[in-house]
A and B are shown apart, each in its own frame.
Chain A
Amino acid sequence: MENAITQTATLAAAGPVHVSAWGLFLQADIIVKTVMLLLIMASLWSWGIIFDKIMRLRSLFKQAEDFEERFWSGSSLEDLYEKVGQRPKEPMSAIFVAAMKEWKRSGTKGGAAASTLGERIDRVMKISLEREMDHLNRRMIFLASTGSVAPFLGLFGTVWGIMNTFTAIGATSDTSLATVAPGIAEALFATALGLVAAIPAVVAYNKISSDLTRYALRLENFAGEFGAILSRQLDLRT
Protein backbone atom coordinates (compact mmCIF):
# COMPACT_ATOMS: atom_id res chain seq x y z
CA MET A 1 0.00 0.00 0.00
CA GLU A 2 2.69 2.45 0.96
CA ASN A 3 4.70 1.24 -1.97
CA ALA A 4 1.79 1.95 -4.24
CA ILE A 5 1.53 5.44 -2.88
CA THR A 6 5.17 6.24 -3.33
CA GLN A 7 5.02 4.69 -6.77
CA THR A 8 2.22 6.89 -7.93
CA ALA A 9 3.88 9.81 -6.26
CA THR A 10 7.08 9.24 -8.19
CA LEU A 11 5.02 8.63 -11.32
CA ALA A 12 3.30 11.93 -10.90
CA ALA A 13 6.58 13.63 -10.28
CA ALA A 14 8.31 11.86 -13.15
CA GLY A 15 6.93 14.28 -15.67
CA PRO A 16 4.20 14.61 -18.24
CA VAL A 17 2.13 11.54 -18.98
CA HIS A 18 3.05 10.10 -22.34
CA VAL A 19 -0.06 9.29 -24.36
CA SER A 20 1.44 8.06 -27.57
CA ALA A 21 0.33 4.61 -28.69
CA TRP A 22 3.71 3.22 -27.73
CA GLY A 23 3.65 4.93 -24.36
CA LEU A 24 0.20 3.51 -23.65
CA PHE A 25 1.44 0.06 -24.56
CA LEU A 26 4.47 0.33 -22.30
CA GLN A 27 2.47 1.53 -19.32
CA ALA A 28 -0.01 -1.30 -19.61
CA ASP A 29 -0.37 -4.20 -17.24
CA ILE A 30 1.14 -7.53 -18.40
CA ILE A 31 -2.27 -9.03 -19.18
CA VAL A 32 -3.38 -5.98 -21.11
CA LYS A 33 -0.05 -6.09 -22.92
CA THR A 34 -0.64 -9.72 -23.88
CA VAL A 35 -4.09 -8.87 -25.15
CA MET A 36 -2.68 -6.01 -27.20
CA LEU A 37 0.03 -8.22 -28.68
CA LEU A 38 -2.52 -10.91 -29.56
CA LEU A 39 -4.70 -8.34 -31.26
CA ILE A 40 -1.80 -6.89 -33.22
CA MET A 41 -0.80 -10.35 -34.35
CA ALA A 42 -4.39 -11.16 -35.29
CA SER A 43 -4.53 -7.96 -37.30
CA LEU A 44 -1.26 -8.78 -39.06
CA TRP A 45 -2.33 -12.30 -39.92
CA SER A 46 -5.82 -11.37 -41.05
CA TRP A 47 -4.48 -8.64 -43.31
CA GLY A 48 -2.03 -11.18 -44.69
CA ILE A 49 -4.95 -13.48 -45.47
CA ILE A 50 -6.95 -10.62 -46.94
CA PHE A 51 -4.17 -9.61 -49.33
CA ASP A 52 -3.49 -13.19 -50.25
CA LYS A 53 -7.13 -14.02 -50.96
CA ILE A 54 -7.85 -10.88 -52.90
CA MET A 55 -4.81 -11.26 -55.13
CA ARG A 56 -5.51 -14.93 -55.61
CA LEU A 57 -9.17 -14.44 -56.45
CA ARG A 58 -8.35 -11.73 -58.95
CA SER A 59 -5.87 -13.96 -60.77
CA LEU A 60 -8.29 -16.92 -60.58
CA PHE A 61 -11.08 -14.96 -62.25
CA LYS A 62 -8.67 -13.86 -64.94
CA GLN A 63 -7.37 -17.39 -65.54
CA ALA A 64 -10.90 -18.76 -65.64
CA GLU A 65 -11.74 -16.13 -68.24
CA ASP A 66 -8.74 -17.15 -70.34
CA PHE A 67 -9.49 -20.84 -70.02
CA GLU A 68 -13.15 -20.49 -70.94
CA GLU A 69 -12.15 -18.43 -73.95
CA ARG A 70 -9.85 -21.19 -75.11
CA PHE A 71 -12.41 -23.84 -74.26
CA TRP A 72 -15.13 -22.24 -76.33
CA SER A 73 -12.79 -21.15 -79.15
CA GLY A 74 -13.71 -24.24 -81.16
CA SER A 75 -10.46 -26.13 -81.02
CA SER A 76 -10.77 -29.81 -80.23
CA LEU A 77 -10.85 -30.98 -76.62
CA GLU A 78 -7.89 -33.26 -77.29
CA ASP A 79 -5.75 -30.30 -78.35
CA LEU A 80 -6.76 -28.34 -75.31
CA TYR A 81 -6.04 -31.30 -73.07
CA GLU A 82 -2.54 -31.63 -74.50
CA LYS A 83 -1.92 -27.90 -74.12
CA VAL A 84 -3.06 -27.80 -70.54
CA GLY A 85 -1.02 -30.91 -69.87
CA GLN A 86 -0.95 -33.06 -66.79
CA ARG A 87 -0.34 -30.20 -64.41
CA PRO A 88 -3.24 -27.79 -64.36
CA LYS A 89 -2.49 -24.37 -62.89
CA GLU A 90 -5.94 -23.37 -61.76
CA PRO A 91 -9.16 -25.01 -60.57
CA MET A 92 -11.10 -24.75 -63.81
CA SER A 93 -8.43 -26.50 -65.91
CA ALA A 94 -7.99 -28.97 -63.05
CA ILE A 95 -11.63 -29.93 -63.40
CA PHE A 96 -11.23 -30.14 -67.14
CA VAL A 97 -8.15 -32.36 -66.84
CA ALA A 98 -9.83 -34.62 -64.28
CA ALA A 99 -12.80 -35.13 -66.59
CA MET A 100 -10.62 -35.69 -69.65
CA LYS A 101 -8.50 -38.25 -67.82
CA GLU A 102 -11.56 -40.23 -66.89
CA TRP A 103 -12.89 -39.92 -70.42
CA LYS A 104 -9.65 -41.14 -71.97
CA ARG A 105 -9.22 -43.98 -69.54
CA SER A 106 -12.63 -45.45 -70.36
CA GLY A 107 -12.21 -44.55 -74.03
CA THR A 108 -9.15 -46.75 -74.39
CA LYS A 109 -10.87 -49.65 -72.70
CA GLY A 110 -13.69 -49.67 -75.21
CA GLY A 111 -17.41 -49.01 -74.77
CA ALA A 112 -17.97 -51.68 -72.15
CA ALA A 113 -18.67 -49.22 -69.34
CA ALA A 114 -20.14 -46.53 -71.59
CA SER A 115 -23.44 -46.36 -69.79
CA THR A 116 -21.87 -45.38 -66.48
CA LEU A 117 -19.10 -43.21 -67.97
CA GLY A 118 -21.14 -40.01 -67.87
CA GLU A 119 -21.97 -40.59 -64.24
CA ARG A 120 -18.35 -41.25 -63.37
CA ILE A 121 -17.16 -38.12 -65.19
CA ASP A 122 -19.67 -36.00 -63.31
CA ARG A 123 -18.53 -37.48 -60.02
CA VAL A 124 -14.86 -36.93 -60.81
CA MET A 125 -15.52 -33.33 -61.75
CA LYS A 126 -17.55 -32.75 -58.60
CA ILE A 127 -14.79 -34.17 -56.42
CA SER A 128 -12.16 -32.10 -58.16
CA LEU A 129 -14.27 -28.97 -57.75
CA GLU A 130 -14.82 -29.61 -54.08
CA ARG A 131 -11.14 -30.17 -53.49
CA GLU A 132 -10.23 -26.93 -55.22
CA MET A 133 -12.87 -24.93 -53.36
CA ASP A 134 -11.72 -26.45 -50.11
CA HIS A 135 -8.25 -25.14 -50.83
CA LEU A 136 -9.56 -21.70 -51.63
CA ASN A 137 -11.68 -21.58 -48.49
CA ARG A 138 -8.75 -22.34 -46.19
CA ARG A 139 -8.02 -19.66 -43.58
CA MET A 140 -11.33 -17.93 -44.18
CA ILE A 141 -12.36 -19.21 -40.78
CA PHE A 142 -9.58 -17.13 -39.22
CA LEU A 143 -11.03 -13.96 -40.72
CA ALA A 144 -14.47 -14.90 -39.44
CA SER A 145 -13.32 -15.58 -35.92
CA THR A 146 -11.08 -12.52 -35.81
CA GLY A 147 -14.07 -10.43 -36.81
CA SER A 148 -16.21 -11.81 -34.04
CA VAL A 149 -13.69 -12.41 -31.25
CA ALA A 150 -11.28 -9.47 -31.52
CA PRO A 151 -13.73 -6.90 -30.08
CA PHE A 152 -14.36 -9.15 -27.12
CA LEU A 153 -10.67 -9.67 -26.57
CA GLY A 154 -10.16 -5.92 -26.69
CA LEU A 155 -13.02 -5.46 -24.29
CA PHE A 156 -11.44 -7.92 -21.92
CA GLY A 157 -8.23 -5.92 -22.00
CA THR A 158 -10.19 -2.77 -21.29
CA VAL A 159 -12.10 -4.25 -18.39
CA TRP A 160 -8.91 -5.57 -16.90
CA GLY A 161 -7.16 -2.24 -17.30
CA ILE A 162 -10.03 -0.37 -15.70
CA MET A 163 -10.08 -2.83 -12.84
CA ASN A 164 -6.41 -2.03 -12.31
CA THR A 165 -7.17 1.66 -12.39
CA PHE A 166 -9.83 1.33 -9.74
CA THR A 167 -7.50 -0.73 -7.61
CA ALA A 168 -4.95 2.06 -7.92
CA ILE A 169 -7.58 4.59 -6.88
CA GLY A 170 -8.39 2.47 -3.88
CA ALA A 171 -4.75 2.10 -2.94
CA THR A 172 -3.85 5.77 -3.19
CA SER A 173 -7.30 7.08 -2.24
CA ASP A 174 -6.59 9.74 -4.80
CA THR A 175 -9.23 10.30 -7.42
CA SER A 176 -7.57 13.11 -9.28
CA LEU A 177 -7.76 12.84 -13.04
CA ALA A 178 -4.00 12.47 -13.23
CA THR A 179 -4.19 9.15 -11.39
CA VAL A 180 -7.16 7.78 -13.27
CA ALA A 181 -6.69 9.02 -16.80
CA PRO A 182 -3.57 7.12 -17.90
CA GLY A 183 -4.99 3.80 -16.74
CA ILE A 184 -8.26 4.33 -18.54
CA ALA A 185 -6.57 5.57 -21.69
CA GLU A 186 -4.36 2.51 -21.67
CA ALA A 187 -7.37 0.28 -21.10
CA LEU A 188 -9.38 1.84 -23.90
CA PHE A 189 -6.41 1.40 -26.20
CA ALA A 190 -7.03 -2.36 -26.02
CA THR A 191 -10.60 -1.95 -27.27
CA ALA A 192 -9.36 0.34 -30.03
CA LEU A 193 -6.92 -2.34 -31.15
CA GLY A 194 -9.66 -4.96 -31.03
CA LEU A 195 -11.89 -2.88 -33.29
CA VAL A 196 -9.00 -2.09 -35.62
CA ALA A 197 -8.38 -5.80 -36.01
CA ALA A 198 -12.04 -6.77 -36.27
CA ILE A 199 -13.51 -4.24 -38.70
CA PRO A 200 -11.32 -5.02 -41.73
CA ALA A 201 -11.62 -8.73 -40.97
CA VAL A 202 -15.43 -8.61 -41.07
CA VAL A 203 -15.61 -6.47 -44.20
CA ALA A 204 -13.03 -8.58 -45.99
CA TYR A 205 -14.68 -11.80 -44.88
CA ASN A 206 -17.98 -10.74 -46.38
CA LYS A 207 -16.41 -9.58 -49.63
CA ILE A 208 -14.11 -12.56 -50.06
CA SER A 209 -16.69 -15.17 -49.19
CA SER A 210 -19.17 -13.71 -51.67
CA ASP A 211 -16.44 -13.69 -54.32
CA LEU A 212 -15.63 -17.30 -53.50
CA THR A 213 -19.29 -18.25 -53.86
CA ARG A 214 -19.38 -16.57 -57.25
CA TYR A 215 -16.28 -18.41 -58.31
CA ALA A 216 -17.65 -21.73 -57.08
CA LEU A 217 -20.82 -21.11 -59.07
CA ARG A 218 -18.76 -20.40 -62.13
CA LEU A 219 -16.83 -23.66 -61.71
CA GLU A 220 -20.07 -25.59 -61.23
CA ASN A 221 -21.53 -24.10 -64.38
CA PHE A 222 -18.42 -24.98 -66.31
CA ALA A 223 -18.47 -28.54 -64.94
CA GLY A 224 -22.13 -28.87 -65.88
CA GLU A 225 -21.57 -27.61 -69.40
CA PHE A 226 -18.51 -29.77 -69.88
CA GLY A 227 -20.41 -32.78 -68.57
CA ALA A 228 -23.17 -32.10 -71.07
CA ILE A 229 -20.67 -31.87 -73.92
CA LEU A 230 -19.01 -35.13 -72.91
CA SER A 231 -22.28 -37.02 -72.60
CA ARG A 232 -23.27 -35.75 -76.06
CA GLN A 233 -19.96 -37.10 -77.37
CA LEU A 234 -20.65 -40.35 -75.56
CA ASP A 235 -24.01 -40.66 -77.28
CA LEU A 236 -22.34 -40.01 -80.63
CA ARG A 237 -19.62 -42.58 -79.93
CA THR A 238 -22.01 -45.41 -79.10
Chain B
Amino acid sequence: MSTMNLSLRETEGQGLMLSVALHVAVAVGTWVTVPFLSRDLPLEQPIIVDLVPIDDITAAPPKPAPKVEPKIEPKPEEKPEPPKPVDAEKPSPNQMPPPPDASAPPPKPVAEAPPVPKVAPPPPKPKAKPKKDDWADLQSLVKNLEKKEAKAEEQRQQVAAVTPQDAKVITQQTADRATMTELDAIRSHIEACWRIDPGKEGIENLSAEIKVYINPDGSVQQAAVEDMGRYLADSQFRTFANSARNAVLSCGNIPISAERYETFKVLSLNFSPQGRIN
Protein backbone atom coordinates (compact mmCIF):
# COMPACT_ATOMS: atom_id res chain seq x y z
CA MET B 1 0.00 0.00 0.00
CA SER B 2 2.67 2.45 0.99
CA THR B 3 4.54 1.95 -2.28
CA MET B 4 1.32 2.56 -4.14
CA ASN B 5 0.74 5.83 -2.37
CA LEU B 6 4.27 6.84 -3.11
CA SER B 7 3.96 6.09 -6.81
CA LEU B 8 0.60 7.84 -6.82
CA ARG B 9 2.15 10.95 -5.37
CA GLU B 10 4.90 10.89 -7.93
CA THR B 11 2.52 10.71 -10.86
CA GLU B 12 0.41 13.41 -9.29
CA GLY B 13 3.35 15.78 -9.24
CA GLN B 14 4.04 14.84 -12.81
CA GLY B 15 0.45 15.47 -13.79
CA LEU B 16 0.38 18.87 -12.14
CA MET B 17 3.62 19.87 -13.80
CA LEU B 18 2.32 18.74 -17.15
CA SER B 19 -0.84 20.71 -16.49
CA VAL B 20 1.12 23.87 -15.69
CA ALA B 21 3.22 23.35 -18.81
CA LEU B 22 0.08 22.92 -20.88
CA HIS B 23 -1.49 26.10 -19.54
CA VAL B 24 1.63 28.13 -20.12
CA ALA B 25 1.91 26.73 -23.63
CA VAL B 26 -1.72 27.55 -24.36
CA ALA B 27 -1.31 31.08 -22.96
CA VAL B 28 1.81 31.73 -25.01
CA GLY B 29 0.25 30.09 -28.05
CA THR B 30 -2.83 32.28 -27.82
CA TRP B 31 -0.68 35.33 -27.36
CA VAL B 32 1.36 34.57 -30.43
CA THR B 33 -1.09 33.02 -32.84
CA VAL B 34 -4.44 34.62 -32.14
CA PRO B 35 -3.86 38.22 -33.15
CA PHE B 36 -7.23 39.59 -32.14
CA LEU B 37 -6.57 38.86 -28.50
CA SER B 38 -3.49 41.03 -28.28
CA ARG B 39 -4.33 43.77 -30.69
CA ASP B 40 -5.30 47.23 -29.58
CA LEU B 41 -8.68 48.57 -30.47
CA PRO B 42 -8.41 51.47 -32.87
CA LEU B 43 -9.35 54.49 -30.87
CA GLU B 44 -11.49 56.93 -32.71
CA GLN B 45 -9.35 59.96 -33.12
CA PRO B 46 -11.03 63.06 -31.80
CA ILE B 47 -11.05 65.62 -34.54
CA ILE B 48 -10.20 69.23 -34.10
CA VAL B 49 -13.41 70.76 -35.27
CA ASP B 50 -15.14 74.07 -35.26
CA LEU B 51 -18.47 72.85 -34.05
CA VAL B 52 -20.55 75.71 -35.31
CA PRO B 53 -19.85 75.54 -39.02
CA ILE B 54 -19.94 71.75 -39.00
CA ASP B 55 -23.27 71.78 -37.31
CA ASP B 56 -24.61 74.10 -39.97
CA ILE B 57 -23.41 71.92 -42.75
CA THR B 58 -24.08 68.37 -41.74
CA ALA B 59 -26.69 68.32 -39.06
CA ALA B 60 -30.33 69.05 -39.28
CA PRO B 61 -31.24 71.76 -36.76
CA PRO B 62 -31.10 70.03 -33.40
CA LYS B 63 -34.66 69.35 -32.25
CA PRO B 64 -33.92 69.22 -28.54
CA ALA B 65 -32.52 72.74 -28.52
CA PRO B 66 -35.82 74.62 -28.92
CA LYS B 67 -37.42 72.41 -26.28
CA VAL B 68 -34.69 73.16 -23.82
CA GLU B 69 -34.83 76.90 -24.20
CA PRO B 70 -38.54 77.40 -23.54
CA LYS B 71 -38.16 75.38 -20.36
CA ILE B 72 -35.55 77.76 -19.11
CA GLU B 73 -37.24 80.95 -20.15
CA PRO B 74 -40.59 80.50 -18.43
CA LYS B 75 -38.82 80.46 -15.08
CA PRO B 76 -37.19 83.87 -15.43
CA GLU B 77 -40.50 85.24 -16.60
CA GLU B 78 -42.20 83.99 -13.50
CA LYS B 79 -39.62 85.63 -11.33
CA PRO B 80 -40.03 89.08 -12.76
CA GLU B 81 -43.70 88.79 -11.88
CA PRO B 82 -43.32 88.76 -8.11
CA PRO B 83 -41.68 92.19 -8.07
CA LYS B 84 -44.68 93.58 -9.95
CA PRO B 85 -47.05 93.27 -7.02
CA VAL B 86 -44.70 95.59 -5.19
CA ASP B 87 -45.19 98.16 -7.91
CA ALA B 88 -48.89 97.57 -7.68
CA GLU B 89 -48.81 98.36 -3.99
CA LYS B 90 -47.13 101.66 -4.58
CA PRO B 91 -49.92 102.98 -6.78
CA SER B 92 -52.38 101.80 -4.17
CA PRO B 93 -51.90 104.93 -2.00
CA ASN B 94 -53.58 106.93 -4.78
CA GLN B 95 -56.66 104.77 -4.43
CA MET B 96 -56.76 105.66 -0.80
CA PRO B 97 -60.30 104.69 0.29
CA PRO B 98 -59.78 100.96 0.72
CA PRO B 99 -56.62 101.08 2.90
CA PRO B 100 -58.21 102.36 6.11
CA ASP B 101 -60.22 99.16 6.57
CA ALA B 102 -57.31 96.83 6.26
CA SER B 103 -54.60 96.89 8.85
CA ALA B 104 -51.79 96.12 6.40
CA PRO B 105 -52.46 98.92 3.88
CA PRO B 106 -52.21 101.79 6.41
CA PRO B 107 -48.43 102.07 6.13
CA LYS B 108 -48.76 103.50 2.65
CA PRO B 109 -51.31 106.11 3.54
CA VAL B 110 -49.03 107.20 6.33
CA ALA B 111 -46.01 107.30 4.15
CA GLU B 112 -47.78 109.51 1.66
CA ALA B 113 -49.98 111.06 4.23
CA PRO B 114 -50.40 114.57 2.68
CA PRO B 115 -52.76 113.49 -0.12
CA VAL B 116 -54.88 111.44 2.24
CA PRO B 117 -56.35 114.09 4.56
CA LYS B 118 -59.21 114.92 2.16
CA VAL B 119 -60.66 111.51 2.76
CA ALA B 120 -59.76 112.07 6.37
CA PRO B 121 -62.75 110.77 8.37
CA PRO B 122 -61.83 107.10 8.45
CA PRO B 123 -57.99 107.40 8.80
CA PRO B 124 -57.91 109.17 12.18
CA LYS B 125 -58.32 105.91 14.07
CA PRO B 126 -55.43 104.25 12.34
CA LYS B 127 -53.34 107.38 12.64
CA ALA B 128 -52.89 107.05 16.36
CA LYS B 129 -51.66 103.49 16.20
CA PRO B 130 -49.96 103.64 12.84
CA LYS B 131 -47.44 106.22 13.95
CA LYS B 132 -45.60 103.58 15.88
CA ASP B 133 -46.38 100.95 13.34
CA ASP B 134 -45.26 103.21 10.54
CA TRP B 135 -41.66 102.37 10.91
CA ALA B 136 -42.30 98.71 11.48
CA ASP B 137 -44.54 98.53 8.46
CA LEU B 138 -42.15 100.45 6.32
CA GLN B 139 -39.37 98.28 7.44
CA SER B 140 -41.40 95.15 6.79
CA LEU B 141 -42.24 96.47 3.37
CA VAL B 142 -38.61 97.16 2.65
CA LYS B 143 -37.78 93.72 3.96
CA ASN B 144 -40.40 92.18 1.71
CA LEU B 145 -38.97 94.02 -1.20
CA GLU B 146 -35.49 92.93 -0.32
CA LYS B 147 -36.67 89.35 0.09
CA LYS B 148 -38.34 89.39 -3.25
CA GLU B 149 -35.30 90.86 -4.85
CA ALA B 150 -33.16 88.24 -3.19
CA LYS B 151 -35.52 85.53 -4.38
CA ALA B 152 -35.43 86.88 -7.88
CA GLU B 153 -31.67 86.94 -7.75
CA GLU B 154 -31.57 83.38 -6.44
CA GLN B 155 -33.81 82.28 -9.22
CA ARG B 156 -31.66 84.10 -11.69
CA GLN B 157 -28.67 82.29 -10.32
CA GLN B 158 -30.54 79.01 -10.54
CA VAL B 159 -31.34 79.71 -14.12
CA ALA B 160 -27.76 80.58 -14.73
CA ALA B 161 -26.77 77.32 -13.10
CA VAL B 162 -29.22 75.39 -15.22
CA THR B 163 -28.31 76.83 -18.56
CA PRO B 164 -24.67 75.75 -18.68
CA GLN B 165 -25.76 72.14 -18.13
CA ASP B 166 -28.24 72.36 -20.94
CA ALA B 167 -25.62 73.94 -23.08
CA LYS B 168 -23.38 71.01 -22.27
CA VAL B 169 -26.08 68.61 -23.36
CA ILE B 170 -26.41 70.37 -26.63
CA THR B 171 -22.71 70.46 -27.32
CA GLN B 172 -22.44 66.79 -26.48
CA GLN B 173 -25.06 66.04 -29.06
CA THR B 174 -23.38 68.11 -31.69
CA ALA B 175 -20.09 66.50 -30.77
CA ASP B 176 -21.62 63.09 -31.35
CA ARG B 177 -22.73 64.13 -34.74
CA ALA B 178 -19.46 65.77 -35.55
CA THR B 179 -17.48 62.61 -35.05
CA MET B 180 -18.63 61.25 -38.38
CA THR B 181 -17.57 64.24 -40.37
CA GLU B 182 -13.84 64.26 -40.53
CA LEU B 183 -14.17 65.48 -44.06
CA ASP B 184 -16.28 68.36 -42.80
CA ALA B 185 -13.49 69.35 -40.51
CA ILE B 186 -11.25 69.66 -43.52
CA ARG B 187 -13.89 71.56 -45.43
CA SER B 188 -14.52 74.06 -42.70
CA HIS B 189 -10.80 74.43 -42.19
CA ILE B 190 -10.28 75.40 -45.81
CA GLU B 191 -13.46 77.37 -45.99
CA ALA B 192 -12.15 79.65 -43.31
CA CYS B 193 -9.25 80.59 -45.60
CA TRP B 194 -11.38 81.09 -48.67
CA ARG B 195 -11.72 84.73 -49.66
CA ILE B 196 -14.44 85.16 -52.21
CA ASP B 197 -16.25 88.17 -53.51
CA PRO B 198 -19.86 87.07 -53.31
CA GLY B 199 -21.09 90.11 -55.18
CA LYS B 200 -19.26 89.37 -58.35
CA GLU B 201 -21.37 89.01 -61.44
CA GLY B 202 -22.38 85.47 -62.40
CA ILE B 203 -20.52 84.01 -59.52
CA GLU B 204 -23.43 81.94 -58.23
CA ASN B 205 -23.23 79.74 -61.32
CA LEU B 206 -19.59 78.96 -60.87
CA SER B 207 -18.15 75.95 -59.20
CA ALA B 208 -14.62 74.70 -59.33
CA GLU B 209 -13.28 71.30 -58.47
CA ILE B 210 -9.85 71.27 -56.92
CA LYS B 211 -7.85 68.12 -56.47
CA VAL B 212 -5.75 68.32 -53.33
CA TYR B 213 -2.78 66.10 -52.64
CA ILE B 214 -1.91 66.01 -48.98
CA ASN B 215 1.35 65.09 -47.27
CA PRO B 216 1.30 62.81 -44.22
CA ASP B 217 1.86 65.78 -41.95
CA GLY B 218 -1.20 67.52 -43.34
CA SER B 219 0.57 70.07 -45.48
CA VAL B 220 -0.68 70.45 -49.03
CA GLN B 221 1.57 68.92 -51.60
CA GLN B 222 -0.30 70.08 -54.63
CA ALA B 223 -3.64 71.62 -55.53
CA ALA B 224 -4.80 71.33 -59.11
CA VAL B 225 -7.86 72.70 -60.88
CA GLU B 226 -9.75 69.83 -62.47
CA ASP B 227 -11.36 71.61 -65.42
CA MET B 228 -8.23 72.95 -67.11
CA GLY B 229 -10.02 73.67 -70.38
CA ARG B 230 -12.46 76.06 -68.81
CA TYR B 231 -9.71 77.43 -66.62
CA LEU B 232 -7.82 78.56 -69.69
CA ALA B 233 -10.83 79.72 -71.67
CA ASP B 234 -13.00 81.42 -69.07
CA SER B 235 -11.38 84.30 -67.23
CA GLN B 236 -14.19 84.51 -64.70
CA PHE B 237 -13.81 80.87 -63.89
CA ARG B 238 -10.06 81.29 -63.74
CA THR B 239 -10.31 83.96 -61.09
CA PHE B 240 -12.75 81.88 -59.14
CA ALA B 241 -10.67 78.72 -59.39
CA ASN B 242 -7.54 80.61 -58.42
CA SER B 243 -9.23 81.92 -55.30
CA ALA B 244 -10.22 78.37 -54.41
CA ARG B 245 -6.74 77.04 -55.09
CA ASN B 246 -5.19 79.82 -53.04
CA ALA B 247 -7.52 78.97 -50.20
CA VAL B 248 -6.19 75.40 -50.18
CA LEU B 249 -2.57 76.41 -50.56
CA SER B 250 -2.59 79.25 -48.08
CA CYS B 251 -4.41 77.42 -45.37
CA GLY B 252 -1.48 75.70 -43.76
CA ASN B 253 -1.67 72.16 -42.52
CA ILE B 254 -4.92 70.36 -43.03
CA PRO B 255 -6.22 68.65 -39.87
CA ILE B 256 -5.99 64.97 -40.64
CA SER B 257 -5.01 62.19 -38.29
CA ALA B 258 -2.03 60.06 -39.20
CA GLU B 259 -4.05 56.81 -39.14
CA ARG B 260 -6.61 58.13 -41.57
CA TYR B 261 -4.02 59.55 -43.90
CA GLU B 262 -4.65 56.94 -46.58
CA THR B 263 -8.30 57.95 -46.71
CA PHE B 264 -7.58 61.61 -47.20
CA LYS B 265 -4.41 61.40 -49.20
CA VAL B 266 -6.07 62.76 -52.32
CA LEU B 267 -9.13 64.90 -51.90
CA SER B 268 -11.41 66.23 -54.55
CA LEU B 269 -13.04 69.36 -53.22
CA ASN B 270 -15.80 71.14 -55.02
CA PHE B 271 -15.90 74.87 -54.40
CA SER B 272 -19.12 76.70 -55.09
CA PRO B 273 -19.95 80.29 -54.18
CA GLN B 274 -22.57 79.56 -51.57
CA GLY B 275 -19.63 79.50 -49.26
CA ARG B 276 -19.48 75.77 -49.38
CA ILE B 277 -17.02 73.18 -50.34
CA ASN B 278 -18.28 69.77 -51.32
Contact = CB atoms under 8 A, between A and B. Distances in A.
B31 A51 contact: no
Contacts, number: 79
- Main SS of the interface on chain A? helix
B40 A44 contact: no
Interface stretch (B10-18, B109-117, B215-223, B263-271): B10-18
| Interface bracket on B | 20 to 34
A137 to B, nearest CB: 12
Contacts of A16: 40-43
B12 A52 contact: yes
B14 A52 contact: yes
Interface residues of A, number: 30
Interface stretch (A17-25, A27-35, A214-222): A17-25
A15 to B, nearest CB: 7
A152 interface: no
Contacts of A44: 16, 19-20, 23
A20 B4 contact: no
Interface string B209-239: 0000000000000000000000000000000
A17 B39 contact: no
B165 to A, nearest CB: 11
- Main SS of the interface on chain B? helix
A74 interface: no
A43 interface: yes
A136 B260 CA distance: 63
Given A55-B14, A56-B11, A89-B3, A15 B43 contact: yes
Interface string B36-76: 11111111100000000000000000000000000000000
A49 interface: yes
A48 B3 CA distance: 21
A20 B41 contact: no
A217 B44 CA distance: 65
Nearest to B16: A48
A48 B18 CA distance: 7
Contact of A20 (B15, B23, B37): B37
A52 B15 contact: yes
A67 interface: no
B48 to A, nearest CB: 15
B19 A51 contact: yes
Interface of B: 1, 3-5, 7-8, 11-12, 14-16, 18-20, 22-23, 27, 30-31, 36-44
Interface of A: 15-21, 40, 43-53, 55-56, 87, 89-90, 94, 131-132, 135, 178, 181
**Closest 5 pairs (CB-CB, A-B):** A52-B15, A47-B19, A48-B16, A51-B15, A48-B19
